[in-house]
Chain A
Amino acid sequence: DAGVTQSPTHLIKTRGQQVTLRCSPKSGHDTVSWYQQALGQGPQFIFQYYEEEERQRGNFPDRFSGHQFPNYSSELNVNALLLGDSALYLCASSVGGTGAYQPQHFGDGTRLSIL
């Protein structure tokens, strides 16, 4: 039973560039959430996708956008990268778009470094 898979594992970009991160949810899950985790901090909620729509959003600027595909996989796009975007980006999946109170299954994350 495949868990949540994220790609790539590591990524290095420069300021001003754009990046796309990818996530495949756990088998049987249809809801994907994205989190940003800065070094030494807890994860911060970016947004959640369910039925190919953004259902909830945290306090992140419009530079952060996403997409969910019919197979439930998801992408996180970040434009005009800033040094402060350097972080571990975690994808989590759950079932039914039922909100943050459901336990979530997390991937190993993508480590994004901005030079």
Chain B
Amino acid sequence: AQKVTQAQTEISVVEKEDVTLDCVYETRDTTYYLFWYKQPPSGELVFLIRRNSFDEQNEISGRYSWNFQKSTSSFNFTITASQVVDSAVYFCALTSAGSRDDKIIFGKGTRLHILP
């Protein structure tokens, strides 16, 4: 069975600090996709990144970076120089690849508070 664990329920940091959100996943599939979504107070989930299981390259997008390590089944998300606008709930998600029968599994989320 597939599973996504976000062990950090809630994190608070002061603005401009760096923060890393952890995500550990379980799957028996060799081909799968991992996602990060952001959920601000307004409620809608905003897609941040998708990574497939064959691409272990780390990615950087502005202040955001992602570290994917298959050896530890982790897909961690780092925000550099955090800002108050980064305050939200962040979800890591997992799905198998390519089949119309595949379903997406979300973690329970990490609530991030950026304090001014």
Residues of chain A at the chain B interface (Cβ within 8 Å): 3-4, 40-45, 55-56, 58, 88, 90, 92, 97-101, 103-109, 111
Contacts and interface: CB of A to CB of B under 8 A. Distances in A.
Contacts of B97: 101
Nearest to A50: B100
Nearest to B101: A56
Q: Which 7 A-B pairs have the closest CB atoms?
A: A42-B106, A100-B104, A106-B45, A100-B95, A109-B43, A103-B47, A101-B33
Question: For the complex, would chain A's binding face be called helix, strand, loop or mixed by DSSP majority?
Answer: loop
B55 interface: no
Interface of B: 4, 33, 35, 37, 42-47, 50, 91, 93, 95-109
B95 A43 contact: no
A59 to B, nearest CB: 9
A43 B98 contact: no
A99 B40 CA distance: 25
Contact of A104 (B42, B47, B99, B108): B47
Contacts of A109: 43-44
A91 to B, nearest CB: 10
A110 B44 CA distance: 10
A106 B98 contact: no
A44 B35 CA distance: 15
Contact of A99 (B46, B98, B106): B98
A109 B45 CA distance: 9
Given A109-B43, A109-B44, A100 B109 contact: no
A99 B102 contact: yes
A10 to B, nearest CB: 11
A97 B100 contact: yes
A56 B45 contact: no
Could you say which of A58, A105, A106 has the most chain B C-beta atoms within 10 Å of its C-beta? Answer: A106
A44 B43 CA distance: 15
A100 B103 contact: yes
A53 to B, nearest CB: 11
Contacts of B99: 99
B44 A108 contact: yes
Given A100-B95, A101-B95, A101-B97, A43 B102 contact: no
